[in-house]
Structure 1
Amino acid sequence: MLDVFPLLSGDDRITPRFTLVPGSAFGADVLSAVEAVGGRTIPWSEARDQSYDLVIAASPKGELEVLRGRHVLLPHGAGFNKSLRHEGSADSASGLDPEYLHRSEHAPPVSLHALAHPSQLARLAAADPEAALRAKVVGDPTLARLTASQPLRETYRAALGTGSRTLLALSSTWGPDALLRRCPDLPAQLAGHLPYDRYQLALVVHPNEWSRLGTYELRARLAPALEGGLILACPRDEWASVLIAADALICDHGSAALYFAAVQDRPVVAVHRGGSELIPGTPMDELLSSVPMLSSADSVEQALRAYRPETGQSAARAAFRHRTTASQRLRTELYALLGLTPPTTAIPVPLLPSPVAAPRVPGAFDVHVSIKESMIRVDRYPVGLQAPGHHLAVEHGVAGEHHLRSAGLVYRRRAAAFATTSTRVDWLADGWARHILAEYPGCRAAAALLAPSQCLLRVRSHAQPYSVGTEPVTEDGRILRIDPAAAVSAAHAWLLSQRTTPTEPVRLDCRIGAQGFPITLAPATTEAAAEPL
């Protein structure tokens, strides 16, 4: 609904009002979503006593027919792929159920049944021939927003802090066959299996499931994965921005998978074939029957490699038509029903906003290291989700005391400048490092991250501190930069592997994530040791 109403904006002849048809088990959050965008709502008891020039709904269910005025039914989700056994007629597709489409003789008929694909018109005719007479294929307005917003992909990735990592999204619909119902531990298992510097994880949860659990319980259930950096996309707009930003998708039988496949040809992997709800022969059935299946978190990279290009888009073409013109087509139909001439000023398709769900950067990592001469590979995993590695790297000021007491390496990022009305106290880089080694006797090294390319590292029992310098690399016309915390982990591990301490600059070839980065390790100058932290 909120994807459609902007099509009527810029017209002072139109006054939109929102109401909630009673009967949904998931209505608790609906009015909150409308209020969040400033929509004016009216109670159902008041709404049913008035007359309207147009009544627009996204579902035929409930007492919708008591609202007086011409009715429009919008596309709801990516086609009609599910049959909900606990409601309506047996084996009927949700949204095409004759029990809900059929209206009493005194109720106004639906003036427009908007559909997204010609095949849906044939299915509607089979379910309710009379309703099909007033149906038109206009496309999907939600897909129109995703398509129009595709050029903002890099903007969305920047907002999410993705960087050069592969953004792997998971989508979970609602009901007993949803991903989070069947595989509740999968987000945490993936966070523990996939290196943090190579992969970023995001989760899209259906609004019904979000409403069923509530934000507090949902976040509590996902706590291990969220602590490991999982992005939980909110169900209003942000889910679509995250899908555009994503490099690959792990899905169930929910509509998000077809929307993802429609806007980009990137890998799709399924967790199951749809369960008892999925209707055979539908576009979603075609998609799930042709993409790789994920047997376990450990096999995710193999499953992603097994995806065949064009598979997802082939299924999406069976669900959507008029991708780029859906909004204009629907706008024309709505104004025709209103009996109004549309404004001459064209209304652009509203673009999706940038995500605001900032991921939590883990405060502690289990760091796995392999060293061969000056070649170092570093893989970092959020603590507790992977077996212990070479050392535990902990960020001071972010992680708790328990992790600090167990850390092999403690690091701190330079504080941003801030205004103060009292005396301000700053550490010198080496002074802070010495303080940490004295405070935590079990810690073997401390590092001050002064800048993206400049760090100071002090190793216990070494007489001198070290400067750790990193250099960006270019790839495919892009500049890639390393997290300095990963760089000091590499330098720390290499120094511990040496029998002597270096007195001259050493160049290390470090592989972090999917890229190689040069790191320079050298005895720190007096000026570097005295840098403010």
Structure 2
Amino acid sequence: MLLAARSAVALHRLLDAVLVFAGDERVTRLFTLVPGSDFGVDALAAVERIGGRTVPWSEALRGSYDLVLSASPKGDVRLIRGTHVLLPHGAGYSKSLPGEGSDSASGLDPVFLRRTDLALHAVAHPDQAARLVAWDDAAPAKVVGDPTLERLLASRPLRDRYRAALGTGSRTLVVLASTWGPESLLHRHPGLAQELAARLPYDAYQLALVLHPNEHSRLGSYELAQRLAPACDAGLIIADPYEEWASLLIAADALITDHGSAALYYTAAADRPAVGVHEDDGAELIPDSPMHTLLRGIPRLRDAGALIHALRAWRPGPGAQAARQAFDRQGQALDLLRSELYALLGLTPPPTPARPRPLPAPRPAVRTPAAFDVDTDVTAADEIRVTRRPAGLGPPGDHLAAEYDAASEPYIRSAGLLYRRPLPQAPWAADAWIRHALDAYPGCRTAAAILPDGLTLLGTRDRPALHAVRAHPRNEAGRIIHPDPAAVASAVHTGRQPSHLRCRIGDRTYDVTVRPATPTESATPF
């Protein structure tokens, strides 16, 4: 069997589909790169990462194969001798690319699909099959569903694991989904992630970016990270274009999307909040397509400052409706595709059924902020509200809080609150480090040592005795929610040190106990 891909996105689709042959020693999987795409370089790199055996294009043309799988009808793939099967390239077929074939949906363009070599065109929805038959009543179109969606559906029980891997905690994970090209979120709103990081409270929101594989190929990981450096420094997660993007959609609480099909996978997995940024002047979105259904039914995000309002305006329904327009046979795709492919091979499938492989856990952010502009105020309920935002992205706060051993020296020297988290080899006693921090940095008024068990020892310049600060977790329907001790230290830094106080961080209020530290606690290594 030859898997023929022109780009990384096509290869990723094929990798999800060939799970139907898992465990069958009768099938040998070979890969080749079909020339002609501007985005082909990452396809070969992806094959190398998984350890696949590649066949040079010239050799592929000389051979003959029992099965040739592709996920794009473009290029010279038809020159390969064998039984050809075309698999879904994307979700919903909602985008038309000017100057590419005709004005039909990309992936369903008759200019590329009127082929005599196709034994099967597997599609995800009856509407797609009907469109193919309307162009050519002999088209070998069959509805098998979407193998990539099967992996998302199978991975829904792993949502908590994914969020734990990302370090999300109780925050709202907002994913920005960008397709590729001049009408994409990344091209039209390149500063949106940075603007959101500057505006959204860090303890209430986490940001991630799901970017089309073509943009990863066009820019490369280094250039992409440099262009998004301020947002990455503030904790933005950039998903890997294979598998990880889908794990992030499972983990997400909300989505900001253009007209790219990633949003349809998100809404098919769960009908959670989504807002759109696609502009009405775009020429790529196809009217009455699944993405058009979604975008006209969800709130529009006009600027970064309006995100919370837009999310509150979201109502369930349009997402599920759009997903039904894009995907059929949900939960059956691997079984249906398996039957079709084994029939073409003339083989009896193994007795073990094909099962979608759960998605791997995503990686956390490469960088997280170690310095914060912090605003504090006392609410009407006599709570101390703490709002932290990554330092340097917006106006300064009431005070600057910086993490010792993590923030850069300019932030350390300017911080009114210095805090330190435990290190594996515990080089300091807590009270010794607090004295060191207050002596070494004259601008520091408060130094806080966060111990391994979450207890925080806090010393101030005008109070020689240390205080022990403990924030009590919240129990929300059985889920235990802990605040970041560094955020609680900012509340105590305000100078209010009664034996008990209430600290509001994000949408949650925590009871906090403040008492004199014991000698044993003060000498704790950390």
Which one of the candidate residues 255, 258, 274 is aligned to 1:252? 258
Give the 3 Å change call, closer, same or farther, for CA 93–128 of structure 1 in structure 2: farther
Would you say the 8 A contact 2:335–2:353 is kept in 1? no
Work out whether residues 452 and 484 of structure 1, in 8 Å CA contact, stay in contact via their aligned partners in 2. Answer: no
1:421 aligns with: none
1:115-514 matches, within 5 Å, as 115-131=123-139, 134-273=140-279, 275-372=282-379, 374-417=382-425, 426-493=427-494, 495=495, 498=496, 506-514=499-507
Shift of 1:99: 1.7
Counterpart AA for 1:120? Q
2:55 to 42, 53, 57: 42
TM-score after normalising by structure 1:
0.94
CA contact (8 A) 1:273 1:288 kept: no
Give 5+ residue unaligned stretches, structure 2.
1-13
2:64 partner amino acid: S
Distance 2:137 2:214 in 1: 30
| Contact kept? 1:160, 1:359, Cα under 8 Å | no
TM-superposed deviation, 1:451: 2.9
Identical aligned pairs, as a percentage? 58
* Secondary structure of 2:420's aligned partner: strand
Question: CA offset at residue 164 of structure 1?
Answer: 0.8
3-state SS, counterpart of residue 4 of structure 1: helix
Matched position secondary structure for 1:18: strand
Secondary structure in structure 1 of the residue aligned to 2:307? helix
Partner Cα separation in structure 1 for residue 289 and residue 429 of structure 2: 64
Question: CA deviation digits over 1:32-62, x for unaligned, max 9?
Answer: 1111111111110110110000000001100
Find the residue that maps to 1:10 and give its secondary structure: coil
Instruction: Look up the SS of the partner of 1:214 in the other structure.
Output: helix
Using the alignment, how far apart are the partners of 2:126 and 2:289 within structure 1? Answer: 13
1:70 and 2:83 equivalent? yes
- Contact kept, 8 Å, 1:446 with 1:457, in 2: the verdict is yes
**How far did 1:273 drift?**
4.3
Distance in 2 of aligned mates of 1:38 and 1:151? 29
Q: Distance in 2 between matches of 1:461 and 1:29?
A: 59
Shift, 1:16, TM fit: 0.7
Q: CA deviation at 1:452?
A: 4.5
TM superposition shift of 1:88: 1.3
SS at the partner of 1:463?
strand
Q: 2:384 is paired with a residue of what secondary structure? A: strand
Alignment deviations for residues 45-102 of structure 1 (CA, whole Å, 9 cap, x no partner): 110110000000001100011111111000111121111112212x122112222112
Corresponding residue number in structure 2 for 1:58: 71
Query: Partner residue of 1:95?
Result: 107
Counterpart Cα distance in 1 of 2:303 and 2:488: 31
Partner Cα separation in structure 2 for residue 48 and residue 396 of structure 1: 60
| Amino acid in the other structure paired with 1:167 | L
Tell me the secondary structure at the aligned position of residue 69 of structure 1: strand
Deviation at 1:261, TM superposition (A): 0.6
In 2, Cα distance between equivalents of 1:440 and 1:478: 40
- For the Cα contact (< 8 Å) 2:334–2:354, is it kept in 1? no
In structure 1, runs of 5+ residues without a counterpart are 418-424
Q: 1:357, CA displacement in angstroms?
A: 3.9
CA contact (8 A) 1:376 1:490 kept: yes
Kept after mapping to 2: 8 A contact 1:428/1:532: yes
Shift of the alpha carbon at 1:374? 4.8
Aligned length: 511
Change in 2 beyond 3 A, CA 1:384/1:128:
farther
Tell me how far apart the structure 2 counterparts of residues 202 and 245 of structure 1 sit (CA, whole Å). Answer: 10
The 8 Å contact of residues 300 and 310 in structure 2, kept in 1 or not, is answered as yes
**CA distances 1:320-345 after superposition (whole Å, capped 9, x unpaired):** 00110011101110100111000011
1:374–1:415 CA distance, 2 compared to 1 (3 A): farther
The whole-number CA distance in structure 2 between the counterparts of 1:480 and 1:102 is: 57
Q: Name the CA distance, whole Å, in 1 between partners of 2:133 and 2:96.
A: 17
Q: Calculate the TM-score normalised by the size of structure 2.
A: 0.95
Residue type of the partner of 2:143? V
Counterpart amino acid of residue 45 in structure 2: S
Instruction: Report how far residue 229 of structure 1 moved.
Output: 0.8
CA distance in structure 2 between the partners assigned to 1:434 and 1:114 by the alignment: 69
Aligned amino acid, residue 384 of structure 1 = G
Which stretches of structure 1, 4 residues or longer, exceed 6 Å deviation after superposition?
A: none
1:518 to 499, 504, 511: 511
CA distance in 2, matches of 1:95, 1:129: 18
- Offset at residue 127 of structure 1 (A): 3.4
SS at match of 1:19: strand
Contact 1:26 1:212 in 2 (8 A): yes
1: distance between equivalents of 2:473 and 2:284? 50
- Cα-to-partner distance string for 1:131-158 (whole Å, 9 max, x where unaligned): 2xx1001101111111111111111111
Q: Following the alignment from structure 2 to structure 1, what is the Cα–Cα distance between the partners of residues 326 and 279? A: 18
Bigger mean CA offset, 397-406 vs 522-531: 522-531
- Name the CA shift for 1:256/1:75 in 2 (closer, same or farther; >3 Å): same
Task: Find the residue that maps to 1:433 and give its secondary structure.
Answer: helix
Q: Distance in 1 between matches of 2:308 and 2:471?
A: 29
- Residues 123 and 145, structure 2, Cα contact 8 Å, conserved in 1: yes
Distance 1:357 1:32 in 2: 22
Shift of 1:281: 1.3
Counterpart CA distance in 1 for 2:76 and 2:453 is 59
Partners of 1:284 and 1:31 lie apart in 2 by: 30
Q: Using the alignment, how far apart are the partners of 1:324 and 1:509 within structure 2?
A: 48
